Chains A and B, each alone.
Chain A
C-alpha cells in the first residue's frame, strides 16, 4: 500500500501535470496531421525526454501517445483522412455522419469512446497485468495465425459489395505486402533490384495514398463551383453538436465490448490497434439492433473502433510492464525511454521497486482525464480548421501529406508511391473495389505469413500435426471458435444472396 501511495505521489505533482498537459496538446495536434503516427510522435519525443526529469518526461510521453490517438480520428471524421492506421475504421461511419452536418456529434463520440477505451484498458492493466500477460505469453505462432484468420473472416463478413471485388482487393493487399525481403530466408521478393523496396512498401504512404489522396482525386471530379464551398458544414442545432445523456448510456454496451476486444488484442504483442478496431467494428455491427445504419453514420460504428484502438494502447503496456516485452512500436519506444531514465520494467521491478510502475499507472489515469478536458476544447478548434473551401484545403492536404510521407523514412520514393497509390485508390473507388480491404490484407499479411511459416517449422519438429495441435489447448479452442465463425459467415453470405439483401450499403471504400 505504501508503494502504491509513493508511486502516486511521484506522478501527482505540478511538473508531472505540466508534462501530461503538454504531451496531450502536442499529441492531439500531431495526431491530427495525416502521416504523423502515434509511434512517430513518441519516437520524436524520446530523445527530448532524456533532458527532462523522469517524472516529467515519462508522463509527457504517455500523454502524447494518448492524445495522438484521439487527434488522429479528427481528420478521419472530417476529411476522411485517418491520422494513424488505427483510425481507418472510424472513417466508415464517422465521415458519413459529418457529411450530414453532425461532425460535432461524431467528434464528441470519438472523444468519449477514446477516453472510455483508454481508461478501461488502463484499469485492466493496473489490476490484471500479471494474469493477462501470463495468458498472452502462451500464444505461439499457430495461435497468432488463427487470430489473423479471425480478422480476415471478419473482413469478409464486413464487406457487402460484390464478393469477387472484395477477394481481389484482399489478394492485391497480400501481394503488395509480399514485396521486400522474405521474413524467414531474407531473400528479396518482387523488388527487382530496387533497394528502396528491400524494407517493403511503407504502410504510411499506402494508407495516405489509398485513403486520403484517392479521396481528394475523387472529390476533384466535382464541378469547380462546388470546390469553392466549405469542405464540411456543421449543423447549428445544439443536439447535432453534442452527445446527449441518453446517447451516452446507449453506447455503453458497445463501449464495454469494444474495450474488452481492444484490451485482449493489445495484450497480444504484434496484432496492433488497427486489427482491434476492425474486429470491434464488425462485432458492433453484428450485435447491433439496427445493423443497416452501419456505414451511414452510426454512433456505435464510430464508438466501437475508437474504444478498441484506444484500449490497445493501454493493454500494449501489459507485456511491457509485467514482462519487459514491448507489444508494439510505441511500447518499444516507451521501453527505450524508461531504460534511458534507469527504470527496467518486468517482474523484478514489480517485486523490488514497484513505485515507478504505480507512478506510471497514476500518470496514465490522469492523462485520460486531461485528454478528455483538452479534447473538449480541441473540437471547436478542429471545426474551424476544416471550415475552409475545398479548393484551398485539398492542395494543403496534398502538400502536407507529401511532407508526412517523406518524414517517416526520409524517402522521396515514399512520396511517389503515395501518389501512385492515390491514383490506384481513386480508380478502385470509381469501379467499386474496396481499398480498405486491400489495406487490411496488406496489414495482416506479415503477421499471417510469419505465423504460418513458423507454425509449419514447429509442426515439422513435433511428432506430426495431430500431436502438435493436441499439445496446445489454446490452439484447439481457437480452432473450434474459428470453425463456428466460418459457418456463421457462410450462412450470412448465403442468406444475403437468398433474400436479396442490399449488397452495397457500406461505404467501405
Chain B
C-alpha cells in the first residue's frame, strides 16, 4: 500500500514536471514560434507533440496507479538491492567526467577512476588496484593514440604533461 502511494506521488511529480516543461521550458527554449512561408510546420511542432504524449502517458499512469489497475511489478530475483554501490559508482564517474579528466588528463584520471571503482567494488589486493588500472590505460593508449591516432584529453592543470 505504502509502495503504491509512493509510486503515485512519483508519477504525479513527473506529470507536474512534464506540464511545467511544456508550458515554460519549451516555449523559452525554441524562439522560432511559427512556420515561415514554405517551411511546413513550426520547429515547436515535434517537441510539443512529444510533450503532449508524455503528459497523456503520465496522466494515464497516474490514473492506473490511483485506481489500482497497474500491472504488477517484476519480481527482483529475490535478492537484496544495495543502493550505495551504484550511487558511489555514479558519483565517481560523474566527478571524473565533469572535472577529473579535464584537470589531470584522461590517462592519469582514468587510472584514478578505475582504481577507485575497483576498490568500491570490493577489490582489496593493492597490486591489483594499482596494476590493473595501469595496464588498462596502457591498452587504451596503444589503441587510441598509436593505432587510431585519436588524442584523448590532456591535463589542463599541468599543460606540458605528455599524457
Q: Measuring CB to CB, which residues of chain A are less than 8 angstroms from any residue of chain B?
A: 33, 44, 161-165, 167-168, 170-172, 174-175, 178, 182, 184-185, 187-192, 213, 216-218, 220-225, 227-228, 390-392, 394-396, 398-400, 402-403, 406-407, 410, 412, 415-416, 418-420, 422-423, 426, 431-432, 445, 449, 452-457, 460, 503-504
Give the total number of A-B pairs whose CB atoms are below 8 A apart.
206
The answer to whether A399 touches B110, judged by C-beta atoms less than 8 angstroms apart, is yes
What A residues does B96 contact at CB under 8 A?
402
User: Is the C-beta of B74 less than 8 angstroms from some C-beta in chain A?
Assistant: yes
The answer to whether A221 touches B43, judged by C-beta atoms less than 8 angstroms apart, is no
Q: List 27 A-B contacts (CB under 8 A).
A: A33-B143, A162-B71, A164-B57, A167-B60, A171-B54, A171-B57, A175-B47, A175-B51, A185-B39, A189-B44, A190-B26, A191-B29, A216-B89, A217-B86, A224-B121, A390-B121, A394-B89, A395-B136, A398-B93, A406-B106, A407-B144, A412-B102, A416-B94, A419-B97, A422-B93, A456-B40, A456-B41
Nearest-Cβ distance from residue A102 to partner chain B, whole angstroms: 19
User: Is the C-beta of B163 less than 8 angstroms from some C-beta in chain A?
Assistant: no
What A residues does B86 contact at CB under 8 A?
217-218, 220-221, 426
Q: Which among B10, B117, B133, B136 has the highest number of chain A CB atoms within 10 Å? A: B117
The answer to whether A221 touches B81, judged by C-beta atoms less than 8 angstroms apart, is yes
The answer to whether A391 touches B50, judged by C-beta atoms less than 8 angstroms apart, is no
What A residues does B80 contact at CB under 8 A?
223
Q: How far is the CA of A78 from the CA of B7 in the complex (A)?
A: 33
Given known pairs A412-B153, A503-B71, the reply for A400 and B140 (CB within 8 Å) is: yes
Partner of B97, one of A161, A418, A456: A418
User: Is the C-beta of B8 less than 8 angstroms from some C-beta in chain A?
Assistant: no
Nearest-Cβ distance from residue B36 to partner chain A, whole angstroms: 7
Partner of A407, one of B41, B51, B60, B148: B148
Nearest-Cβ distance from residue B103 to partner chain A, whole angstroms: 11
Q: Interface size on B (CB < 8 Å)? A: 73
SS of A interface (majority): helix
User: Is the C-beta of B152 less than 8 angstroms from some C-beta in chain A?
Assistant: yes
Partner of B114, one of A33, A163, A399, A423: A399
The answer to whether B53 touches A399, judged by C-beta atoms less than 8 angstroms apart, is no
Given known pairs A395-B117, A418-B97, the reply for A222 and B51 (CB within 8 Å) is: no
Q: How far is the CA of A33 from the CA of B147 in the complex (A)?
A: 14
The answer to whether A453 touches B41, judged by C-beta atoms less than 8 angstroms apart, is yes
SS of B interface (majority): helix
Partner of B140, one of A165, A217, A399: A399
Q: Given contacts A168-B53, A184-B43, could you give 18 more A-B pairs where the C-beta distance is less than 8 Å? A: A167-B57, A185-B39, A187-B43, A190-B30, A192-B29, A220-B85, A221-B83, A224-B122, A395-B113, A395-B118, A396-B136, A398-B117, A403-B140, A416-B97, A416-B98, A432-B73, A456-B40, A456-B41
Partner of B121, one of A162, A391, A452: A391
The answer to whether A189 touches B102, judged by C-beta atoms less than 8 angstroms apart, is no
Which chain B residue shows the least CB distance to A413? B97
Task: Report, nearest first, the 9 A-B pairs whose CB atoms are least far apart.
Answer: A391-B121, A456-B40, A187-B32, A224-B122, A395-B117, A174-B50, A171-B54, A190-B29, A182-B43
Given known pairs A168-B58, A457-B40, the reply for A182 and B32 (CB within 8 Å) is: yes
Nearest-Cβ distance from residue A355 to partner chain B, whole angstroms: 33
The answer to whether B61 touches A165, judged by C-beta atoms less than 8 angstroms apart, is yes
What B residues does A182 contact at CB under 8 A?
32, 43
